Amino acid sequence: MVVSQNTAGLTRSQCRRGSGGNAGNTGEVSEDEELTMNNPDKWARTFPRLYELYCEDSSNPNNYFNHANVQLALRVPSDQYLAELESILGELDPVAWQEWKRRAALVLSPKPKFGFPVPLFDSFNEARAYVFLKRQGYIEITFLETGRTKGEKVPDLLAKNREGNVTILEAKRIHDSDSEIEYLVNPLPHDMRKVWHGLKEELRAKMSSTVDRARKQLLAFRAAKVRRRIVYLSIRIDLQNATHETRDEIGLFLEKMNDGTIDIVHFIENDFFLSDSRP
């Protein structure tokens, strides 16, 4: 079944009205209207921070939230993925939220590679890293501005504990392989694929190079009282390789990469696909 929806987006005035709660409602609305993007108040109430991000560029057809599949998900307040993102963004304090939103708005509506807005997903991972630090008990967490000197790299986040000691964090993502994305977006019927149990060399090399880059970046950054340096690594496993054995080998491999100069914290984005089955 093909579902077609209007992806023109809401106007700026509708966004401002919707983000204000019930302002703008003039009467009862139908059940269908309650479940669609045509009722901005409904979307603002269900996912207020995602909605506020959407309003940064609402009329752009390339806006992530104007994609038909995302609009379908927005009709379900219990959608697990969007509900999780809203929960994460809801934990950012007001200053952090404004800075994160400013950054995310820059990558909200680009022409996506392979049909996926990868830079926006990277921004969501930075917000997840902020929440990780918050739950570790840090009381002052800041998104750092990008380097002002050409080529200068700075970590994504700086946090302080109650003693004033500093932790810096670099958030990285391991994306799906190009071959996996090409497989997923190919509209032609797919052949069955053999499941690969265990860590593939391609993923091993990608994790190694990503962690090495982050390590150099963290060690090059100078700040007073830095006591801890963290690489926060979010990983998407190709579906063909998404098994518990692969997940376990990823953990063991990253443990070996801990050389005492940094801590590596990793998160499997698509762990709901993990399989135990073997022939």
Furthest-apart CA atoms within the chain: distance in Å: 63
Residues 85 and 138 in one domain: no
Q: What is the pLDDT of residues 58-89, one digit of tens each?
A: 999 999 998 888 888 888 777 888 999 999 99
Q: How many domains does the chain have?
A: 2
190 located within any domain: yes
For a pLDDT cut of 90, what percent of the chain falls above it?
A: 49
Parent domain of 71: 1-90
95 located within any domain: no
> Do residues 173 and 122 touch, judged by C-beta distance below 8 A?
yes
Q: What is the pLDDT of residues 112-127, one digit of tens each?
A: 665 668 899 999 999 9
Residues 17 and 112 in one domain: no
Supply 219's token pair.
């060690």
Residues 82 and 122 in one domain: no
**Average pLDDT score, the chain:** 80
Q: Is the pLDDT of residue 56 over 70?
A: yes
Residues 54 and 183 in one domain: no
Residues 86 and 132 in one domain: no
Q: What is the pLDDT of residues 137-174, one digit of tens each?
A: 999 999 998 755 555 689 999 999 999 999 999 999 99
Burial of 157 (0-12, 13-18, 19+ CB in 10 A): buried
Q: What is the mean pLDDT of residues 192-215?
A: 87
| Residue whose C-alpha is closest to residue 199's, from 157, 166, 156, 238 | 238
57, 90, 123 — which closes off a domain? Answer: 90
Q: Is the pLDDT of residue 3 over 60?
A: no
DSSP 8-state symbol, 232: E
Q: Which residues contact 71 (CB under 8 A, 6 or more apart)?
A: 5, 7, 37, 65
Residues 252 and 277 in one domain: yes
